[in-house]
Structure 1
Amino acid sequence: MVAHAALVAVLIAFSGCTVGPNYHTPAPPATNTYTPTPLPDQTASSPGASGVPQQFVAGLDIPAQWWTLFHCDPLDALIREALANSPNVAAAQAALRQAGENLRAQMGTTLYPSVDAKANATREKFTGVTFGQPQLTELLNLYNASVNVSYNLDVFGGGRRELESLRSQVDYQGFQLQATYLALSANIVTAAIKEASLREQIEATEHIADDEDAQLGILRQQLALGGVSRVAVLSQETLVAQTRATLPPLRQSLDQTRHQLAVLAGKLPSDTDVPEFRMSMFTLPQTLPVSVPSSLVRQRPDILAADATLHQASAQVGVATANMYPQLTLSASYGPEALTPAGLFRSADMIWSIGAGLTQPIFHGGQLSAQKRAAEAAFDQANAQYRQTVLLAFQNVADTLRALEHDATGLNAQTQAWRAASGSLDLARGQFRVGGVSYLALLDAQRQYQQTVVNLTQAQAARYADTAALFQALGGGWWNDTATSAAAQPPSATPK
């Protein structure tokens, strides 16, 4: 009786024991800025809708549907359709469900006893040798039915650490789902802006080619009158051909971007219901959020997923540690036993058993110690990967902030270059008509103008694309969407 009481006391003492490290999320980097030098209060301005100045606002929250800040209804509709139909989203959702079911399965094993119904039918030959009566021999049938209960008493917390590990896997898949949402929406915004830019580049190039064709007609007339040499006509023909040669690559890029948009939306490239985008359809957001660095590590899905991986690795250290301690199993059974199947329901004898099993690892050839060291090494690896993810995230934000600053100044410079090239071309054409400049001067002015038109269009698109990149770099505001932010919550412990 004293021994029994002592055993109960020991079990109670150890029932709350959980070996292994208790996980704590690493502290955010000790910094208040992303860049070595402060950001300007606002970016440079240029004429036109794409040249409005943008203001950086520290600590401003990000809306869940951040892409609506571009005020493009077709874009909003396409993203919503993509989020509903994308195979990548469906795969991420399935992975989250799988992780949740794996957690529920482990909950059933760890938190609750297993109860099974069992029925046996055997035919055996019985002898009395054991009782000193070898002449006693009998053939008999034996039937029994029982309810068996077993429970692994989680004395040192190995099961609880395994649950902790699986909960972290659920968290990881939940954040991976958020990352899929974010990447999909950002890719669609970027592709739509690229399509709009390509359309403007194509239209501008076609207009330039038409103007050069008109100039070529004038030169041919002058050649017939003896006003210019054949070399001038051939040079203009070369310029027209070179200008038109830039159109097929642009059209190819446009087609590829259209195909990309269709696939991102979960459609076949042949589908024709993907909207066409032009730069005039977008409004450049003038207020840009800049999350404080300490908040970034709680916002970006990739950092949170890396944190969940680190948590899982920490829990696995606890699992490996618990495997080095004794394992205690409780079991019991109860049910009838009879010589005939019908006897099980009438006059059968009731049999029962109750027991406990204790397994203490003694010698496994260094296996358990090696597994623990391997788990610790995996934790160190996950910790290093987490720190690298944080560093890359901060770099991503810093690069994007500087890109927005330089995009604005670059657009301002490109606008001035375009104005100068346009004025120079008009002046060169007028002077060439009256013989004031050579054809080479006109040709040079045409080439400069053509390049500035393309550069200006690309500079305008860069402001929109890098604005979308900033929202993506800061995490996309998923935490403000209650429908999706709840996806990372682990399942309840209710048995089913």
Structure 2
Amino acid sequence: MLLALALGGCSFAPGFTRPMAPVAAVLPGEAVADQAAVLAADLGWRDFFADPRLQAIIEMALANNRDLRETALNVEAFQAQYRIQRSTLFPTVDGGAGYVKQRTLGSGGHATSEAYSASVGVTVWEIDFFGRIRNLRDQALEEYLAMEENRRSAHISLVAEVARAYLTWLADRQLLAITEDTAANEQASYDLIKQRFEGGVATRIDLAQAQTSLQTARANQAQYRRLLEQDENLLTLLAGGPLPDDLPPSTDLAAQALLGPVPTGLRSDLLLQRPDIMAAEHTLRGANASIGAARAAFFPAISLTADAGVISAEASNLFDGDTGSWLFAPSLRLPIFTGGRLSAQLDLAEVRKEIAVTRYEQAIQTAFRETADVLAGIRTFGDQLQAEELGLQANQTYYALARERYDQGVDSYLVVLDAQRSLYRARQSVVVIRLAKLMNRVNLYKVLGGGWKAES
């Protein structure tokens, strides 16, 4: 009966009400989508990232990444802490056996006595009439659940980080190829100008300009080689070990099959399913439970010590019918004067709850802002990339015409250099904007909670 009272007593924790989301009901620029539609959180990363090489690296990272492994171990630690706190709800039953032999001085002289004993009992078990221990248990549970959501968040972030690092590697590889192609053209132009200079056709200024462009291209080559090695080092770190040589071949950055479609048009309240927001809610629930524990500390604490066993001077008759012993010792502790400690503890618990509310609302606002930013990118990156590609076509025409007019002696070599530099920048810009567009889609997949599941 006491156990039932301890487990079903009253609780002074305030009723939990989820704070209103301090954001608009619908994400900006998006129509309300059918709730039956597939959500990004339900879209497996294998379906979203179609590149076989990227899939293999993500799989390696999820298995070997040390940061993710540490987060998983922290979850296990919080789970154990919760089990420890939960165990205080139940009495601890101990069994023991003892033997005492002593020599004492009495009125009749010295005497030697022996005693054998065996007992089973409960030592100082607090009966939770006012819910203090249950609220501490609930707080530990919410902390464990918050850490579990943090693990999900770390998992999602790792998938997105690997994807971003891989896309950057593809882009830098393509930029290096563009730079090498430009350097080869610059070398050919320099050789031609040098021949013309030696033949008295070109001027020394033409030769110096050609040499300047050649050295600039060579410097850019060194830069992109360095960036490419750094990209590979980052992928190795994220994957948790060296990348094997037998990985599937990579897909070009411009390939349409690199990424699957991203479902959009979500209501803002669906962002509440993001693991970072769910972790903030669990933290808030834990702070709510800590208020109940602080309130219960003002009330009496009732503890029970009980023991039942046998005791005898002879081991042979230890379990005879007349050797039984028992102890029943309830106690009550009522706080009378604590110097304001209990009131301060309650104030601290309430302030921590307000902090948790603020952090919860801030997490929602951050999620809303992140999602709105990437949705803005979805609406604009396509137009920007199209403009850059048209600009590239115009620069290709400009360079061809400038080269032709120089060969005909109509324009100076300075016009060719300007056209060549414009073409180089245009080719780079197309790659950079294409990378930004793909990165934006990865970010949208992440901010909507995608990347937790491997398959849809």
Q: Does 1:80 align with 2:80?
A: no
CA distance in 2, matches of 1:220, 1:15: 95
The residue number in structure 2 matching 1:4 is none
Per-residue deviation at 1:254? 1.1
Q: Does 1:65 align with 2:44?
A: yes
The residue number in structure 2 matching 1:115 is 93
Per-residue deviation at 1:348? 6.2
Unaligned runs of 5+ in 1: 1-7, 42-55, 129-133, 483-496
CA contact (8 A) 1:400 1:466 kept: yes
Partner of residue 289 from structure 1, selected from 244, 261, 264 = 264
Partner of residue 21 from structure 1, selected from 14, 23, 26 = 14
Q: Does 1:200 align with 2:179?
A: no
Partner of residue 82 from structure 2, selected from 103, 107, 117 = 103
CA contact (8 A) 2:5 2:128 kept: no
CA distance in 2, matches of 1:280, 1:412: 13
Secondary structure at the aligned position of 1:21 is classed as coil
Alignment of 1:223-302 (within 5 A): 223-268=197-242, 272=245, 277=250, 278-280=252-254, 282-297=257-272, 299-302=273-276
Per-residue deviation at 1:142? 2.6
The residue number in structure 2 matching 1:489 is none
Secondary structure at the aligned position of 2:16 is classed as coil
Give, as a single letter, the amino acid of the residue that structure 1 aligns with 2:26: T
Secondary structure at the aligned position of 1:118 is classed as strand
Per-residue deviation at 1:478? 3.5
Per-residue deviation at 1:213? 1.4
Per-residue deviation at 1:406? 2.5
TM-score (norm 2): 0.91
Q: Deviations over 1:279-301 (max 9, x none)?
A: 1555344453243101101x211
Structure 1 residues 392 and 398: CA distance shift in structure 2, 3 A: same
Per-residue deviation at 1:19? 0.9
Secondary structure at the aligned position of 2:318 is classed as helix
Secondary structure at the aligned position of 2:258 is classed as coil
Per-residue deviation at 1:391? 1.1
CA distance in 1, matches of 2:6, 2:410: 103
Which segment drifts farther, 227-236 or 274-283?
A: 274-283
CA distance in 2, matches of 1:378, 1:337: 52
Secondary structure at the aligned position of 1:106 is classed as helix
The residue number in structure 2 matching 1:405 is 379
Unaligned runs of 5+ in 2: none
List structure 1 segments (4+ residues) > 6 angstroms apart after TM superposition. 11-14, 125-128, 134-137, 479-482
CA distance in 1, matches of 2:6, 2:164: 59
Q: Does 1:144 align with 2:111?
A: no
Compute the RMSD of aligned alpha carbons: 2.7
CA distance in 1, matches of 2:455, 2:182: 47
Structure 1 residues 13 and 332: CA distance shift in structure 2, 3 A: closer
The residue number in structure 1 matching 2:142 is 168
CA distance in 1, matches of 2:5, 2:431: 74
Per-residue deviation at 1:458? 0.7
CA distance in 2, matches of 1:364, 1:107: 27
CA contact (8 A) 2:277 2:360 kept: yes
CA contact (8 A) 1:165 1:315 kept: yes
Aligned residues: 449
Q: Does 1:453 align with 2:453?
A: no
Q: Deviations over 1:51-110 (max 9, x none)?
A: xxxxx9675412342353242112112212221222222222222222222222222221
Percent identity of paired positions between Structure 1 and Structure 2? 27
CA distance in 2, matches of 1:225, 1:121: 115
CA contact (8 A) 1:219 1:228 kept: yes
CA contact (8 A) 1:21 1:314 kept: yes
CA contact (8 A) 1:338 1:348 kept: no
Q: Does 1:91 align with 2:65?
A: no
Secondary structure at the aligned position of 1:475 is classed as coil
Alignment of 1:362-401 (within 5 A): 362-401=336-375
Give, as a single letter, the amino acid of the residue that structure 2 aligns with 1:416: L
CA contact (8 A) 2:375 2:444 kept: yes
Give, as a single letter, the amino acid of the residue that structure 2 aligns with 1:16: G
CA contact (8 A) 1:57 1:287 kept: no
CA contact (8 A) 1:58 1:289 kept: no
CA distance in 2, matches of 1:72, 1:322: 57
Q: Deviations over 1:119-177 (max 9, x none)?
A: 2333456688xxxxx67875423332110124321100011101111110121111011
TM-score (norm 1): 0.84
CA distance in 1, matches of 2:7, 2:260: 59
